[in-house]
A and B are shown apart, each in its own frame.
Chain A
Amino acid sequence: MSSQPTSVAVRPDGTAARPTAFQRWSVPALTLAGLAVLLWVGQSGALTKYTQTVIMFMAVNVIVSASLNLVNGYMGEFSCGHGGFMAVGAYVSSVLGVLLFAKDRVFGPPLLPPEWALVGFPLIVLVGGLAAALAGLLVAIPSFRTRGDYLAIITIAANYIVISAVENLDVIGGSRGFMGMKRVVKAMGRAWDLPWMLLWSFGFAVFTLWILRRFVYSTYGKGVMAICQDEVAAEIMSVNTNRMKVAAFMLSSGLAGVAGGLFAHIVGYVNPGSFGILKSTEALVMVYLGGMGSLSGSVLSAVLFTLLLEALRPLQIIKWIVVPLLLILLMQFRPEGILGNRELADVFPGLRRFFRFK
């Protein structure tokens, strides 16, 4: 087959309707290349442990901002309790991990051989995500009847409910926090010496973007954007808005739970205080910095925001004056964020020739 078949239907934006082999395989190839680079970085010690941690936080923040973008950007609701769902995911996966694969003072010897952590780790992170998705119902069901500011309150209340529920559970440490996840990560490392946390955080970040992209641009998922445009009209156009909202909230909070699980295993310690309103505010900042309804914007802003936080670390407490100030300036001069509601490929149409991400 020649590289430029003449009879291919061409879309108005100049791309071929049928993706070429290059377009089809460039994203998976890039993902694999990314994994390979991370593998090399982790094994060779080319980057310090600190830089590696920053990369992992970037991946976690990508998941957080992209998943919140589904609700706040694509669906146009104002959810400000994302930290609560991260807490659910973090705690469920941490407790499961320690219970199954590590020796602990409270839970006793591991229930399964620690080597199984290799397979078990992604599963416990996903179970944490599932639990967080169920917690998302706490917000999804009231959202049938409420919108806007009232829903914002419900999400804040849900965040506080989760945090103070965890604080009152003494089995998992209460407000003192919970630790032991490092042993699970070590168990994975002993079974097969690879930089597992790097690989998994990157993998889950790509997985999140892929699943969100698939969801939002599917025929079913277009209902989410329809709700954002006009809820009543969407209802009339046969979008089952209630079911749509449940799906969007559960997907969003579930992915936040995945991010929480990864975060817990990267840091090796969780306490309820680290998932409070401040965490939720960070997530909001990333969504609006990147642009509502733009996945590539979320990725960009998550990366930039993580770098910014790390760069400002020497300023200590001043950091939390500089960051909000930057955001206020952003709101004054470019309120739609970095990319607005466009994707990277809309800003640079030439990029379309190189990849197809669906």
Chain B
Amino acid sequence: MLSTIVQNLLNALQWGSFYALIALGYSLVYGVLLLINFAHGDVFMVGAYIGFFVATFLLTQAAGLPGWVVLAVTIPATMALTAVVGVTLERVAYRPLRRKGANRLYVVITALMAGLILEHGNLALLGASRKKFPELINEVVYTVGGVSFTNLKIAVILAAFAVFVLLHFIVTRTKIGMAMRAISYDKFAVPLMGIPIDTVIVFTFILGSSMAGLAGVLFAMSYPVLEPYMGALIGWKAFIAAVVGGIGDIRGAFVGGFLLGAVEILVVAFFPSTFRDLIAFTVLLVILSFKPTGLFGVAKTTKI
């Protein structure tokens, strides 16, 4: 009994780690720009593909390298390249609109469309055939007291926690983190204080996109089938997780991600697995109905 609970808890933590990593990207961008970056789920997908290409390239060009070396090169390279994708998106699509002072809604539509372009551009370039992610490290299954887990699962969970600690440190303890918080607090006063607002925004996108790239590689290693639409559903769900936690707050995204993971694993444990989305979304709807600004969100009062 206890082992079942612990087993499910581990599964929930792993599944929630992916949501949390992606939700962090949503939350960071939203916190700074008040922009729902709907393309973020597809940036995650692009990250997984970049990871696939980097890993395959290394395995074929430098055959004989041990798997862990390949992995050690793949992860930073993927994070960097995914960050390039995210920043390009910001430079090409979002910044011109921001410069014009366009309504936030138009930026959101642009983000939605950018996501569609990423999805279908991938489909057009690479075709509909699924890609299989190469196995980089041997999965070792440990069994402790009836609870079985793999080294990969532990690595995913640890990575998520490490990322959270790092981001929390950056946002709360560093100068650039302070600038990020300042922009979300008052967008108009910040440039007057001599803070380079565009640099800070680019930094935010680098952070968010590289986390999505990391999530992409880890996801592709855990579930090694890549397809262009993999980012859509998980992206929407991660966004919902971010909102349930209270979007704009790092802790909120983290807790929301794990909460969503836990709900989904619980549902699968007790119901047929096709009920997963139905019940997960219903639970989230109920949470939002009672706590409209999310778990960590602070309600803003409206001034007349």
Q: Does A31 contact B (CB under 8 A)?
A: no
State the CA gap A327–B247 with chains docked (Å): 27
Complex contacts, A311 vs chain B, CB 8 Å: none
Q: Pick from A141-149, A184-192, A199-207, A251-259 the stretch touching chain B.
A: A141-149
Chain A residues near B236: list those with CB within 8 A: 156, 160, 277
A14 at the interface (CB under 8 A from B): no
- Cβ of A328 under 8 Å from chain B: yes
A175 to B282 CA separation, bound complex (whole angstroms): 19
- Cross-chain contact of B113 among A142, A145, A152, A325 (Cβ < 8 A): A325
A232 adjacent to chain B (CB < 8 Å)? yes
- Whether A331 pairs with B97 at a CB distance below 8 angstroms is yes
Q: Is the CB of B105 within 8 A of A78?
A: yes
Q: A154-B285, A156-B240, A157-B240 are in contact. Are A168 and B109 (CB under 8 A)?
A: no
| Contacting pair A335 B102 (CB below 8 A) | yes
CB distance A321 to B304 under 8 Å? Answer: no
A residues 130-158 near B (Cβ < 8 Å) are 138, 141-142, 145-146, 149-150, 152-154, 156-158
Asked if A161 contacts B232 (CB within 8 A), the reply is no
Q: Assess whether A317 is interfacial by the CB under 8 Å rule.
A: yes
Q: Give the nearest-CB partner of B236 in chain A.
A: A156
Chain A interface bracket (under 10, 10 to 19, 20 to 34, 35 or more): 35 or more
Residue B108 interfacial (CB < 8 Å): yes
Contacting A157 at CB < 8 Å: which of B93, B105, B281, B292? B281
In the complex, whether B84 has a CB less than 8 A from a CB of chain A is no
Check B110 against A318 for contact (C-beta < 8 Å). Answer: no
Q: How many residues on B have C-beta within 8 angstroms of the other chain's C-beta atoms?
A: 45
Shortest beta-carbon distance from B253 to chain A in Å: 13
The complex places the Cα of A318 from the Cα of B247 at a distance, in Å, of 34
Q: Which residues of A contact B282 (CB under 8 A)?
A: 161
- Contacts A150-B243, A318-B124, A335-B102; is A161 near B285 (CB within 8 Å)? yes
Q: CB within 8 A of A142: which of B124, B288, B294, B302?
A: B288
Q: Smallest Cβ distance from A84 to chain B, in angstroms?
A: 11
In the complex formed, the residue of B with least CB distance to A76 is B105
Cβ contact within 8 Å between B240 and A328: no
> How far is it, in angstroms, between the C-alpha of A323 and the C-alpha of B292 when the chains are bound?
34
Are B285 and A157 closer than 8 Å at their CB atoms? yes
Determine if B132 is an interface residue (Cβ-Cβ < 8 Å).
no
What's the Cα separation between A156 and B102 when bound, in Å? 24
Cross-interface CB contact of B36 among A152, A157, A161, cutoff 8 Å = A152
Residue numbers in A under 8 Å from B274 (CB-CB) = 164, 167-168
Given A78-B105, A158-B285, 4 new contacts (CB under 8 A): A164-B274, A320-B120, A321-B116, A331-B109
**14 sampled A-B residue pairs with Cβ under 8 A:** A78-B105, A142-B288, A153-B239, A157-B281, A160-B281, A161-B285, A168-B275, A231-B302, A320-B116, A320-B119, A321-B124, A327-B109, A328-B93, A332-B97
- Please provide the 3 A-B residue pairs with the shortest distance between their CB atoms, ordered closest to farther: A324-B113, A320-B120, A146-B292
